């Protein structure tokens, strides 16, 4: 009798534990706001565009100049705020612990307007409609809760992307990391991405972008 009672208690506890485990999730849809920082802007794209070393100007009406002083560069605009969205797949499911993730996203690139005063391939540079289509794979470590409990996760993903713009098409590579919290299917993520963007027009040039993203997520 005592043995049967003990086994019954163990079985009941196992059922309770199983019921409390969060179910696996396989898809997450997100949309967010990006705040982009330039990185090594004098070297890329400015030096790439003029073909010479560039330095920041000090207390001048212009922003940069070539080290030989022949070309002055005015940065009329570097747009810092963009939007983007994406879909993340968890092929083996995501619940608690590490899981594989595959992410595809679309985001706008910063609006960049430059004027060149002096020898340069073009008198002006305008990147106004750039978009990046990214695809990457990585790892998520999740601690989701059952039902409407509070859960959390961190992730890292790396991949490649294709750029479309009025200047022409390009490519990029990126790495992104971040984390978030969620209640039920709804969540919020904070992420930072390092992207190396390459375009071929008006001349071959590249530039870093470092967007910090706050995004809302719907996971199911």
pTM: 0.86
CATH of the domain at 203: 2.40.160.20
pLDDT for 21: 79
Domain assignment present for 137: yes
Please give the share of the chain, as a percent, with pLDDT higher than 70.
91
The string of pLDDT tens digits covering residues 162-193 is 999 999 999 999 999 999 999 999 999 999 99
4 burial (CB, 10 Å; 0-12 / 13-18 / 19+) is exposed
Domain assignment present for 191: yes
Domain assignment present for 125: yes
pLDDT for 5: 42
Please give the share of the chain, as a percent, with pLDDT higher than 90.
85
pLDDT for 214: 98
Domain assignment present for 110: yes
The Cα 129–Cα 111 span in angstroms is: 7
The string of pLDDT tens digits covering residues 66-116 is 999 999 999 999 999 999 999 999 999 999 999 999 999 999 999 999 999
1 pLDDT higher than 70: no
pLDDT for 16: 45
The answer to whether the beta carbons of residues 95 and 23 sit under 8 Å apart is: yes
The string of pLDDT tens digits covering residues 10-50 is 444 444 444 467 889 999 999 999 999 989 999 999 999 99
Quote the domain boundaries for residue 163.
23-40+78-219
Domain assignment present for 168: yes
Domain assignment present for 199: yes
In sequence order, the 6+-apart residues with CB closer than 8 A to the CB of 61 are none
Count up the domains in the chain and report the number: 1
Domain assignment present for 94: yes
Mean pLDDT of 196-201: 97
The Cα 110–Cα 87 span in angstroms is: 22
7 pLDDT higher than 90: no
What is the average pLDDT score of the chain?
91
Tokens 């969205």: give the residue.
85
The string of pLDDT tens digits covering residues 150-167 is 999 999 999 999 999 999
Kindly indicate the confidence band of residue 143, based on its pLDDT and cuts at 50, 70 and 90: very high
């Amino acid at each position: 009798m005592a043995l049967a009672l003990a086994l019954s208690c163990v079985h009941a506890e196992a059922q309770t534990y199983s019921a409390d485990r969060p179910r696996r999730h396989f898809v997450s849809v997100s949309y967010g706001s990006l705040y982009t920082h330039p990185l090594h802007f004098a070297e890329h794209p400015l030096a790439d565009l003029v073909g010479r070393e560039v330095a920041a100007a000090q207390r001048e009406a212009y922003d940069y100049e070539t080290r030989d002083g022949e070309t002055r560069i005015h940065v009329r605009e570097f747009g810092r705020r963009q939007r983007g969205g994406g879909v993340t797949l968890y092929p083996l499911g995501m619940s608690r612990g590490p899981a594989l993730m595959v992410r595809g996203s679309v985001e706008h690139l910063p609006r960049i307007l430059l004027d060149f005063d002096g020898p340069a391939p073009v008198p002006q540079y305008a990147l106004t409609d750039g978009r990046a289509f990214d695809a990457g794979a990585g790892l998520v470590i999740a601690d989701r809760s059952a039902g409407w409990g509070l859960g959390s996760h961190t992730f890292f993903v790396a991949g490649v992307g294709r750029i479309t713009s009025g200047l022409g098409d390009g490519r990029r590579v990126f790495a992104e990391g971040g984390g978030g919290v969620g209640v039920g299917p709804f969540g919020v993520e904070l992420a930072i991405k390092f992207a190396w963007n390459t375009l071929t027009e008006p001349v071959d040039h590249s530039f870093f972008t470092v967007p910090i993203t706050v995004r809302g997520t719907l996971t199911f």
